[in-house]
Structure 1
Amino acid sequence: MTGFFDTMLARLDRLTETGTRRVAQTSGRRSFLAKAGTLILGGALAPMLPFDKSHATGSGGGSIAAGSDPLQCDYWRYCSLDGTLCTQCGGSLSMCPPGSEASTVSWVGTCRNPDDTKDYLISYNDCCGKTFCGNATFCNFNEGEKPGYRMALHNDINWCMANTSVGYHCTVAVLVGLAE
């Protein structure tokens, strides 16, 4: 049996060597370094891109959150929120607490206002620059969320990584406008 494995390993070794030599003959080190650098830089910049999560909550989003108290997780604007409430950390629905700054990138959800039954676009911005607001309620709504490799549909990301101060503090839910 070991003879079979030795033969297979020898074939794999020859194939690898042939492929490597072919690549080395058709491209230089600079070309390889340029492609590798592009791949690495592209991977580092991808988390800084804005993402639209409006389609993540499905039609008539906000079926989970329909409350009227912005200090509670069931408030209607929090239908796609994943984080602690800035309303409990010294901020408001749309303003970060003093000493923190809004993330330069965010995710967007579509939430239904129970008062007028219209769907609204909500921008969720992480507030960065202060330590985690541990005394606030943590809310996590994952309706329509996809795995982490589908970042546009994934809200478990520290969006503060695009800022100079990457420490996460809390999340605000800014009303953008009517969803169309």
Structure 2
Amino acid sequence: MLKKFSRLITAFDDFSEAGIRRSAQRFGRRNFLSILGGALVGGTTLPMLPFNRSGGRAHAQGADDDTACEYWRYCALDGFLCTCCGGTVSSCPPGSEASAVTWVGTCQNAHDGKAYLISYNDCCGVTSCGRCPCNYNVGERPGYRMGVHNDINWCMANDRGIYHCTVAAVIGVSAGG
């Protein structure tokens, strides 16, 4: 039994060595290092990219109160409003930090008729706020399309992955609006 196992390991070693030698003859170290470096740099920037989950333009709600779910910026927000939890419409409350990954939606402001690009950032690191829950699903898609699904804990990319609340920062005017 031990002899069979030893032959199997030797065969695996020989196969691995032959594959590595063939690879070394075809590709140089510099080529390997450039591919590896590109993958490492590209992999670190991927979590910083925002997700476009607008799925088309959402129309504004009429309320001017940023502590109400009907406020126009919240057209695609699912979570607790940071304005009810010690933060503002665009900044996290003290003690929490913005998620490294965000989702983006397009909401139309009823006052000026323009469509704005909204970055929804979950604020992370402290226990859930639990006040002013909102659940707007305009443009949301099933969970298998992560970038257009708002039921995800976007704090997963942070060191402190506990969800607290969500902010809705205007990051620009939509090209179509």
Query: Residue 59 of structure 2 is aligned with which of 41, 52, 62?
Result: 62
1:158 and 1:66 mapped to 2: Cα distance? 28
Gap change, CA 1:173 and 1:55, over 3 Å in 2? closer
| Aligned-pair CA distance for 1:145 | 1.0
1:94 and 1:160 mapped to 2: Cα distance? 17
Query: Residue 123 of structure 1 is aligned with which of 119, 126, 129?
Result: 119
Which runs of 5 or more structure 2 residues have no equivalent in the other structure?
1-11, 21-43
Query: Residue 172 of structure 2 is aligned with which of 166, 174, 177?
Result: 177
Once the two structures are superposed, residues 68-111 of structure 1 have per-residue CA deviations (whole angstroms, 9 ceiling, x without a partner) of: 10010000000010110000000001110000000011000000
Q: Secondary structure at the match of 2:165?
A: strand
Identical-residue share of aligned pairs (%): 55
Once the two structures are superposed, residues 143-174 of structure 1 have per-residue CA deviations (whole angstroms, 9 ceiling, x without a partner) of: 22111011111111100000000000000000
Query: Residue 158 of structure 1 is aligned with which of 153, 161, 169?
Result: 153
Which residue number corresponds to residue 17 of structure 1? Answer: none
Instruction: State the 4+ residue runs in structure 1 displaced beyond 6 angstroms.
Output: none
| Aligned-pair CA distance for 1:137 | 1.1
Matched, 1:95 2:91: yes
1:160 and 1:55 mapped to 2: Cα distance? 20
Aligned length: 140
Query: Residue 108 of structure 1 is aligned with which of 104, 124, 140?
Result: 104
Which residue number corresponds to residue 80 of structure 1? Answer: 76
* 1:135-150 correspondence to structure 2 within 5 Å: 136-150=131-145
Q: Secondary structure at the match of 1:161?
A: helix
- Asked if 2 retains the 8 angstrom alpha-carbon contact of 1:121 and 1:178, the reply is yes
C-alpha RMSD of the superposition:
2.7
Which runs of 5 or more structure 1 residues have no equivalent in the other structure?
1-23, 32-44
Matched, 1:52 2:47: no
